[in-house]
Each structure stands twice: as structure tokens, then as C-alpha cells.
Amino acid sequence: MNEILILATPELLDYRRQWLESLANEKRFADNTLTAYERDTRQFLQFLTMHLGNPPGLTDVHTLRTADLRAFLAQRRRDGSGSRSLGRHLAGLRSFLRYLERKGLINAAAAGAIRAPRQPKSLPKPLTDRQALEVVSTQAQLQEEGWIAARDSAILTLLYGCGLRISEALSLTPADLPAAATSIRITGKGGKTRLVPLLAIVLDAVARYKALCPFELVTDKPLFRGARGGPLQPAIIQREMQKLRGALGLPDSATPHALRHSFATHLLAGGGDLRTIQELLGHASLSTTQVYTGVDANRLLEVYDRAHPRA
């Protein structure tokens, strides 16, 4: 912290500390976001010290112009930050400056006037049908313990067969997946609830895991357990997927979340309509789901290039 003390007046640094504490304690921001916002504002204060020729105080922040903010973003770009990082830098600064404005200390108009850098469109990278089926099969699992292999297979089958996020799969309880279920009710982001049909292959994979699991599966407790019986952490499945990538020769883009992308892409390729896929994925906006039309178009072009005699 000694390095930071010379970058701004004690008063400004104290407000910055209060802002970060409010994000952590009141707004419950994720640790990664807090770390990023702390770093972004620290870099901004370092920039202002050089830009102004002295450690900035509240008066300097109050008189900030959009040109000053653009100069900071330009420096970050020269230092190697891409558009996504620059967007986050700006989001962190806006949050801090608006906090000071709500306190009646500054005018944050400059932060509101500057546009975030245009973000590049990145298409999801789904697995092929064959790759997805290989990943979810019990035989592909690398765990020696039979029940753990069955567990991993059941989770990956839920991601691909129902389009679940990994957090959604790991929050399921035995009551959510009774043996005769034909659908599953999922509570996703923002508390949005959706109903997803259950394929026989999903039920079979879950039943296999339940039969082999050595721990008592209490109705209202997590269905999927760690090796010692506690709730399973997402990092465990992510590591297993990483091992599967190596064993099956899959690209780095083959992650647990890629199975959700594969679910949507394969449904669309099979004739599913966007509105239905939107509901199954739990997307609040159709525009979020429309990204899969780009994925499907790319796959069609690849097939065309490989198969058409005039391609």
C-alpha cells in the first residue's frame, strides 16, 4: 500500500477505500471484479500523477475532462489492453466517479460522456456432435473411482443434454431430479426460472450416478458430491474437462460451458427455432440467443467448403 499512498491525496485514497468496501460488503461484487476495479483505479491514479504532474486530489477529479479519460484509455491500449479490458477499465472508473458524485464531492459528467470501446463479436465455439457424445460418455471419464466417473458423466450430460450452466447443474438436489421426471425446473441468472425437457440419456446418467454414489443423497442437499462427500466445486469439473481435452484430442475451447453452446448450436442445426432455444437456455433477450445463428452459418460454410466440388 505504500506505493499507492504517493499516487493521490489521503482524502481521495480514503474515499477510494470506502468505495471498494461498499462494492464488497453492500453490492457483493465478485472477488475477481473487485481485484480488477482496484487495479484499474490504481493505474488511473498513477496515470493522473504523470498526466497532471502531481498526486491528484478531489479537485483534480472534479475537473476531469473526457479528454483526460481518453488519454488514460489510449495509454492502456498502448500498454497492450484490448477492447474488453478497456471496457472494464472504463466501467471501474465510472463506478468510482459516480460513487464520489453521489457523495456530493464531484461531477462525474465526463465519465458518462465517453463511449466504451466497441467490443469484438466472439462466437461461441461448440463441439461437434461426435465430440460432445465422446465427452459425456462414462467410458471417456478418467477417474478410477467408478462413482466419480459416473458423477462426472452425469454432470457433463446435463450440460449438453439440457443446456445447463455448470453452476445450475451443481445446485441441483435429488428432489429436482426424481427417477420418473420428464422435465427439470432450473433457476438461472437473475432468479429466472425455466422448464427444460429431460432426455432418457440424461436420466440414465443421473440414475447411474445415484446408484453408485457412496454418500446418502438427502432430498434437499446438493445431488453431486465431492470425493469426501461435500458439495462439488465447479473447479473439479473444469479440471476433469481439461484432462478430457488432452485424452480426446479436443481444442482448448472444449470447456464445460462449451457443452451448453453445443446444446444450442445442435438444436438450431436440427431445425429448432430461436424462441424455443431462448427459453431452454434461459436468456432474457433473444439477441443473446441470436449469436448461435452465426455459429450455425459458420458450420454450414465449413461443410460447403469441404464438400462442394466447386468450393
Grid cell locating 55 = 498526486
Cα separation, 165 vs 137, whole angstroms? 19
Q: Which domains does the chain have, with CATH numbers?
A: 2-113 (1.10.150.130), 131-257 (1.10.443.10)
Grid cell locating 258 = 462449451
CB-based contact 13:4 (threshold 8 Å): yes
Helices (H), strands (E): how many in the chain?
16, 2
Tell me what pLDDT residue 160 has: 92
Tell me which residue of 98, 25, 124, 110 sits closest to 63, measured CA to CA: 110
pLDDT in single tens digits along all 311 residues of the chain: 344 445 789 999 999 999 999 999 888 888 888 898 999 999 999 999 999 889 999 999 999 898 888 898 888 888 888 777 888 888 889 899 999 999 999 988 887 777 766 655 555 678 888 888 888 887 778 888 899 999 999 999 999 999 999 999 999 999 999 888 889 999 888 788 898 989 999 999 999 999 999 999 998 899 999 999 999 999 999 999 998 888 888 888 888 988 988 888 888 778 777 788 888 888 777 766 666 666 555 554 554 455 555 54
193-197 and 183-187 strand pairing: antiparallel
Instruction: Report the half-sphere exposure of 87 (CA within 13 A, side-chain side).
Output: 8
Tell me what pLDDT residue 224 has: 96
Q: At what angle do helices 256-269 and 146-162 cross, to 10 degrees?
A: 40
Residues 6+ apart with CB under 8 A from 228: none
Tell me what pLDDT residue 248 has: 87
Tell me what pLDDT residue 5 has: 47
Tell me what pLDDT residue 188 has: 85
Grid cell locating 48 = 493522473
CB-based contact 262:292 (threshold 8 Å): no
Tell me what pLDDT residue 293 has: 63
Tell me what pLDDT residue 11 has: 93
Backbone angles phi, psi at 123, to 5 degrees: -80, 145
Tell me what pLDDT residue 303 has: 45
Question: The cell 482524502 sits on which residue?
Answer: 11
Tell me what pLDDT residue 123 has: 58
Q: List residues with catalytic annotation.
A: 165, 189, 257, 260, 283, 292
Question: In the beta sheet, which residues pair with residue 197?
Answer: 183
Q: What is the pTM of this model?
A: 0.57
